[in-house]
């Protein structure tokens, strides 16, 4: 166990984290619990990794990742604009490193993502001819999924193909290939990587209308006799507004289709927002009033975040027979994409570890959910 992850016993047990810093030096220490250990019989615990983390640039972050997580998703480096920058050119440099990193550290890799309208390379966005687009589509899936066949645990085969009302999003894929493109993507991925789990992934697909669209989409793939193993609910939620009832209904309805359910990009943001979901093309204007917690979270918000995370994990535990993985979209608050989206340059606090890599009250509340489950609460 690595020394830097020792924290005062008092803090761990009493949850009085805000007052821990000053007492840290003198108290007896114990290691902070490991999420992957605590939930090892329930579901896998994942994180998104950026290039610096894959390349093990920072020893402290690296040790924390290895201590806490048994699955990892590349935050960006397997997206088409990076891995397939030109028609006949692929760049597997960092993706290969991620596979090695996973093998070396016993961390399973969740590939993200084969088909997504966002972060597409310029050449693909400019393909007007339908046959050429079909060739790009199948070359991309065959080459990328084929390369990592047998080495990667799962693929988000298609990401975000739906609108909020459950209809198909008007993306370049729908426009060039028609609404069968989702089924075709799964057919190609299953052939290129037969032993990899294959998922459909989206945000807000716990909401009733989008959920209904998602179910229809899955049924269409299944009706075509094509393999689909699971549905990923991204889980980009907002403190105080986590839709617990819809999440529970979604777990039940998706698993009733014979699918694994996973939470693939969990973060609970605390900053003001005038819309929900995670459409990366949606933005808000910068304004100092939208960035209130530059110097840290007030206690009330810290507690709200902790309570939301606790309620979420209580729900996950209640349905652990249906949930295979919970992945956080980042290791610590400093890494979170929510510092730059939907408003640039904010200080957000959506994860379980703070910028100094210290566990937050939400972390300990999540650990408590397992202890309480054992006690039968
Ligand atoms: C985000 C990354 O975290 C950012 O670094 C990048 O600039 C934009 O994409 N839904 C997804 C993820 O499926 O791929 C997105 O990741 C967040 C929303």
Burial of 167 (0-12, 13-18, 19+ CB in 10 A): middle
Q: How far is the CA of 116 from the centre of ligand 1 (A)?
A: 11
Mean pLDDT of 16-44: 68
Indicate the Cα dihedral angle 278, 281, 287, 292, nearest 10°.
Answer: 20
Q: Which of 73, 171, 280 to mutate to test the pocket of ligand 1 (most atoms within 8 A of CB)?
A: 280
Domain-located, residue 8: no
Cβ-count burial 262-277 (b if 16+ within 10 Å, e if not): bbbbbbbbbbebeeeb
Domain-located, residue 222: yes
| CA 217 to mean position of chain CA atoms | 21
Summarised one tens digit per residue, pLDDT across range 32-44 is: 999 999 999 999 9
Mean pLDDT of 186-197: 98
- Residue ranges around ligand 1 (CB below 6 Å): 75-76, 159, 234, 265, 278, 280, 337
Name the average pLDDT for the chain.
93
Between 87 and 276, the more confident residue is: 87
Mean pLDDT of 271-292: 93
Q: Could you tell me the residue range of the domain that residue 108 belongs to? A: 31-286+320-341
Domain-located, residue 364: no
Alpha-carbon span 168 to 190, nearest angstrom: 22
Domain-located, residue 190: yes
Closest-lying ligand 1 atom to the alpha carbon of residue 329: 3
Q: How far is the CA of 175 from the centre of ligand 1 (A)?
A: 23
Instruction: Give yes or no for a contact between 314 and 369, defined as CB atoms under 8 angstroms apart.
Output: yes
Between 301 and 276, the more confident residue is: 301
Domain-located, residue 74: yes
Domain-located, residue 54: yes
The CATH number given to whatever domain includes residue 219 is 3.20.20.80
- State how many domains the chain has: 1
Instruction: Give yes or no for a contact between 211 and 253, defined as CB atoms under 8 angstroms apart.
Output: yes
* pLDDT score of 25: 34
Domain-located, residue 117: yes
Residue closest to 202 by CA, chosen among 141, 258, 255, 161: 161
Taking the CA of residue 374 as centre, how many other CA atoms within 13 Å lie in the half-sphere pointing to its CB? Answer: 8
pLDDT at 372 over 80: yes
Residues β-bridged to residue 233: 202, 263
Domain-located, residue 275: yes
């Amino acid at each position: 166990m690595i020394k830097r992850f020792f924290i005062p016993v008092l803090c761990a047990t009493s949850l009085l984290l805000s007052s821990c810093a000053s007492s840290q030096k003198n108290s007896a220490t114990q290691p902070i619990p490991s999420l992957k250990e605590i939930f090892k019989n329930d579901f896998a615990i994942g994180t998104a990794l950026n290039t610096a983390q894959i390349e093990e640039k920072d020893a402290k972050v690296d040790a924390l990742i290895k201590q806490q997580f048994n699955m990892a998703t590349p935050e960006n480096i397997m997206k088409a604009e990076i891995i397939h920058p030109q028609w006949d050119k692929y760049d597997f440099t960092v993706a290969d490193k991620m596979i090695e990193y996973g093998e070396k550290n016993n961390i399973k890799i969740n590939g993200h993502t084969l088909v997504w309208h966002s972060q597409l390379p310029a050449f693909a966005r400019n393909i007007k001819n339908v046959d050429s687009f079909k060739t790009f589509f199948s070359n991309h899936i065959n080459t990328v999924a084929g390369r990592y066949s047998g080495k990667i645990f799962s693929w988000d085969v298609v990401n975000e193909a739906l609108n909020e009302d459950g209809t198909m999003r008007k993306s370049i894929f729908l426009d060039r290939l028609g609404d069968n493109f989702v089924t075709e993507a799964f057919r190609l991925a299953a052939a290129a990587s037969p032993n990899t789990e294959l998922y459909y992934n989206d945000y807000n697909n716990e909401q009733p209308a989008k959920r209904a669209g998602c179910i229809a989409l899955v049924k269409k793939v299944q009706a075509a006799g094509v393999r689909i193993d699971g549905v990923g609910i991204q889980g980009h939620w907002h403190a105080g507004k986590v839709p617990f009832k819809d999440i529970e209904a979604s777990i039940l309805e998706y698993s009733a289709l014979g699918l694994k359910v996973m939470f693939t990009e969990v973060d609970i943001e605390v900053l003001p927002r005038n819309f929900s979901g995670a459409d990366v093309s949606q933005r808000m204007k910068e304004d100092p009033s939208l960035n209130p917690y530059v110097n840290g979270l007030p206690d009330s918000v810290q507690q709200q975040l902790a309570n939301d995370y606790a309620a979420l994990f209580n729900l996950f535990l209640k349905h652990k027979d249906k949930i295979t993985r919970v992945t956080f979209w980042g290791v610590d608050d400093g890494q979170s994409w929510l510092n730059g989206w939907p408003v640039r340059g904010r200080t957000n606090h959506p994860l379980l570890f703070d910028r100094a890599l210290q566990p937050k009250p939400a972390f300990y509340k999540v650990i408590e959910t397992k202890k309480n489950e054992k006690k039968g609460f």
